[in-house]
């Protein structure tokens, strides 16, 4: 099986790397577009609990989106990624937070591991269009722009 290229997106946000990391992780529920980009849809929320990102649906149902593999506040978050799927088909999401000029932070998201999915090409295509929406909401909250 051939390896598909990573999905890579960059944005600049108007805050420090530590604050950007905190908003990405501790305040995810305040900016993530759950209505369009979640397992349970409108009314859902997600929280990091015991090293996993857990979505909770409006009816109390829960599912794991992935497991944290690297947690470096203000620098990097890496995790397996499998919302709505079993962990054996997980991909990897790596988010880096780097200081940028003008008191901004460059946020770089790299999504890899498509070969783990039977629907690798369509999954990659979906995330290639989905991550800009998600990251756009993050920019909307903190201010900034596409890098």
Domain chopping of the chain, boundaries: 7-146
Nearest to 96 by CA among 34, 6, 5, 3: 6
Pick the CATH number of 7-146 from 3.30.530.20, 3.40.190.10, 3.40.50.12780, 3.40.190.100: 3.30.530.20
**74, 95 contact by CB (below 8 A):** no
Q: Cα 4 vs. chain centroid, distance in angstroms?
A: 19
Query: Is the distance from CB of 42 to CB of 29 less than 8 angstroms?
Result: no
Which pLDDT belongs to residue 2? 58
Residue-level pLDDT at 38:
97
Which residues of the chain are under the pLDDT cut of 70?
1-2
CA distances from 12 to 40, 103, 144 (A): 29, 10, 5
pLDDT tens digits, 90-132? 999 999 999 999 999 999 999 999 999 999 999 999 999 999 9
pLDDT at 21: 98
What pLDDT is attached to residue 60? 96
Distance of CA 15 to the CA centre of its chain: 18
CB-CB contact of 32 with 44 (8 Å):
no
Check if the beta carbon of residue 44 is closer than 8 Å to that of residue 55: yes
A 10 A CB-CB count for 2 gives 7
CA distance 22 to 138: 12
Task: Tell me if 28 sits within 8 A of 46, measured CB to CB.
Answer: yes
The structure's pTM equals 0.96
From the list 64, 34, 35, 71, the residue with the least C-alpha distance to 49 is 64
Residues contacting 30, CB < 8 A, separation 6+:
23, 141
């Amino acid at each position: 099986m051939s390896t598909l290229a990573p999905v890579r997106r960059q944005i600049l946000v108007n805050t420090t790397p530590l604050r950007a990391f905190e908003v990405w992780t501790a305040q995810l529920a305040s900016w993530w577009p759950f209505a369009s980009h979640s397992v349970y849809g409108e009314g859902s929320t997600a929280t990091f609990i015991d090293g996993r990102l857990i979505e909770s649906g409006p009816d109390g149902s829960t599912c794991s989106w992935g497991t944290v593999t690297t947690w470096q506040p203000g620098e990097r978050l890496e995790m397996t990624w499998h919302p709505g799927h079993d962990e054996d088909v997980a991909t990897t999401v790596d988010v880096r937070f780097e200081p940028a000029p003008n008191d901004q932070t460059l946020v770089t998201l790299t999504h890899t591991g498509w070969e783990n999915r039977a629907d690798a090409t369509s999954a990659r295509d979906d995330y290639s269009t989905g991550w800009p929406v998600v990251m756009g909401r993050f920019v909307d909250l903190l201010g900034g722009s596409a890098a």
